[in-house]
Amino acid sequence: MTSRRSLTRFRVFAVALLAAALLPTSLAAQQTRPRIAVLEFQNNSQWGYWGRNLGLAATDELATQLVRSGAFTVVERQQIDAILREQHFGLSGAVNAATAADIGKVLGVQAVLLGSITQFSIDRRTAGVGGLRVTYTEAETKMDVRLVNTTTAEIMAVAEGEGKVRLGGVRWDRYNFRRDFDAGLAQEALRPAVEDAVKEIASQAPALAALAPPAPAAMPASVVGSPEPGVVYIDQGEDVGIQVGQRFEVHRVVDEIRDAAGNVLDRVTARVGVIEVTRVLSQSSICSVVEGSAQEGDMAQRR
């Protein structure tokens, strides 16, 4: 009995030692993953039926594959759009490396990915022998991706992806590709080319991890369903060096200037409060309101 208890204690002790050894390594790996953002792809192919939707599908698929690689922390597209709107960045047309670096500094990322779809097609094809005929759908894609260092505006790597894929047998047999857009179909068609490009991008992760992320000029703070009043979450944390005790000035849009057509020309902001960081998480922080107020949609500026 004594021998069995000793063996059990030894096993528990060994498991505890193993967990203690692995946990810091896991946390360190998470903290050294470079933070990147994927900007909207340009559709430069002859496939104009889906317009901008094809570029958005490529953007989402690339972000998904980068997350799955485990080599990066990727900023969500909704978060990018919200910050760019607040900072009045216009993304109509192509974005060059210098503009991408400026955007990356606002987002607090080490690198920004720009991309364009250079070739895209979806065709129904028929094959068979004798009287046996089979109809299938095939998609072909080519794309270019550039990795921009947000500190120097240098293009660190250029990745090319291409691939062909057969799409789900008879699932798309009667689908009108030139009229209807389906996000799932688009991402499925783009996936082989994206996976090809991600291999090259992932090889740059060690170089990016050595770079300190630029401190963002401002960060949006939003009030969420906290059980306590006066609690604010901001969408930056350990990934950009936020620390407990830091204070932020809260700014709110109080007026909008519009033209005769109703388009927003500018926004007028005002300082409405001060918040202080009470807890730092991996990509977000919890803050308390120490002066004035803070609410969803406000911007939190480091003091």
Going by pLDDT thresholds of 50, 70 and 90, the confidence category of residue 39 is very high
pTM for the full model? Answer: 0.62
Q: Do 286 and 231 meet the contact criterion of CB atoms below 8 Å apart? A: yes
* Domain termination site, one of 166, 190, 209: 209
Alpha carbon 207 to its chain centroid, in Å, reads 19
| Domain region containing 106 | 32-209
User: Cβ distance 258 to 264 under 8 Å?
Assistant: yes
Higher-pLDDT residue of 140, 2: 140
Please state the separation of Cα 234 from the chain's center in Å. 17
Give the list of residues 6+ apart from residue 220 with CB closer than 8 angstroms, or none: 82, 83, 86, 234, 235, 297, 298, 299, 300
Contact 168, 188 (CB under 8 A): yes
What's the CATH code of the domain at 176?
A: 3.40.50.10610
156 and 292, same domain (yes or no): no
Q: Is 272 exposed, middle or buried (0-12, 13-18, 19+ CB in 10 A)?
A: middle
Residue 62 — φ and ψ, nearest 5°? -65, -45
- The pLDDT assigned to 17 comes to 42
User: Is 162 in the same domain as 51?
Assistant: yes
Residues 251 and 298: beta-carbon distance below 8 Å: yes
- Dig out the tokens for 93 from the structure: 């047309």
Note whether residue 145 is domain-resident.
Answer: yes
Asked whether the predicted pLDDT for residue 52 surpasses 60, the reply is yes
Cβ atoms of 240 and 215 within 8 Å: the answer is: yes
pLDDT of 64 above 70: yes
Final residue of a structural domain among 156, 189, 209: 209
Query: Does residue 202 form part of some domain?
Result: yes
Shared-domain flag, residues 267 and 202: no
Count other Cβ atoms within 10 Å, centred on residue 249: 17
